[in-house]
Structure 1
Amino acid sequence: MAFPKRKNIQQGTRQQLVIVGSKNPVKINCTESGFHQAMNTSVLVEGLNVDAGISKQPIGDEETLLGATNRAKNSKNVFPEADFWVGIEGGVDTFAGEMHAFAWIFIIDRQGRTGKAKTASFILPKAIANLVNDGMELGDADDKIFDRENSKQESGAVGILTKGAIDRKEYYQQAVVLALIPFVNETLYDNISDTL
């Protein structure tokens, strides 16, 4: 698989190549913005369709983080020449009788170091929660309740429910920045490698 050539920037510093384990434009855009915000560097971000290895609608932190981790690792297996690999997975969980939505971000670099972070969570309306509990994916439930099409590649539930105050890209971008903390504080996080 060939991606565009990286540009050389500022006296020999080369552009970092970041692979996202999804072709979803929201996930690609939030990754690009998050890397630029956290590292203040130019990156080339490309998406790959890879398997998350979990159910279509992950439930709980453990399954959702596993999906993000698998997306990053599978991206690295498919395109090992990159500098970073990013997995982003949205999930839901029920707490105190209410369904919450959130996402996990998992990042791997060339040295095998990892970073991860979780977004903020928000409560879903009962109508959406009921559809998800009946086996529907959150994005499909959003589309059905709000009469949309493919909202998960646009504003997502968070954008619809906040009436545009926070869109899905902004929502994920903050967690991408948080997942990059170990990479911008390398001396404080020198034992962050997972077994890959």
Structure 2
Amino acid sequence: IGIGLEGGVFVARNGTVWLCNWGALVDRDGVVVVAGGARIPLPAEISEQLKTGKELAEVIDEYADRRDVRSNEGAIGILTNGAIDRTTMYTHIVHMLKGQYEHQKKGWRNQ
């Protein structure tokens, strides 16, 4: 089994920039499952900097007046005042991937 996890941002049709995360799981038999997780809108002062081409890690460090936020609580930790950290955010995705995978391996398929 291989699992990939990623976090990032996306721009909604209305122009709002959102923080998000997702994951994928694949096995040797070609079974693939995917899941998306937390999504929260970014403050305008962060969004505007991202739109100029800056990376989220650089912007969130400056915003939080911290160093290496991405390796600690992550942007989600800063923006939720510690209520959710990046480990919790990704753990949620892994549980969804595992659960879907186990469900499919039982032979049941979602229509």
- Coarse TM-score class (shorter-chain normalised): 0.7 to 0.9
Partner of 1:93: 10
Query: How far apart are the structure 1 equivalents of 2:31 and 2:24?
Result: 11
SS at match of 1:116: strand
Query: How far apart are the structure 2 equivalents of 1:140 and 1:188?
Result: 44
Partner of 2:59: 141
Query: How far apart are the structure 1 equivalents of 2:29 and 2:109?
Result: 13
SS at match of 1:119: strand
After superposition, where does 1:95-114 map in structure 2 within 5 Å?
95=12, 96-114=14-32
Write the letter of the residue equivalent to 1:161: L
Query: How far apart are the structure 2 equivalents of 1:163 and 1:120?
Result: 15
- Point out where structure 2 has 5 or more consecutive residues left out of the alignment: none
State the TM-score, normalized to the length of structure 1.
0.51
Deviation at 1:97, TM superposition (A): 2.8
Q: Between the two proteins, what is the percent identity of the paired residues?
A: 32
If each structure's strand is expressed as a fraction of its own residues, which one has the higher value? 2
Query: How far apart are the structure 2 equivalents of 1:111 and 1:100?
Result: 34
Larger Cα-atom Rg: 1
Backbone CA RMSD of aligned residues: 1.6
- Point out where structure 1 has 5 or more consecutive residues left out of the alignment: 1-83, 191-196
Write the letter of the residue equivalent to 1:148: R
Q: Which residue, 168, 187, 195 being the options, matches 2:86?
A: 168
Query: How far apart are the structure 1 equivalents of 2:32 and 2:15?
Result: 34
Moved over 3 A (4+): none
Deviation at 1:137, TM superposition (A): 1.2
**Would you say how many aligned residue pairs link Structure 1 and Structure 2?**
107
Deviation at 1:93, TM superposition (A): 1.6
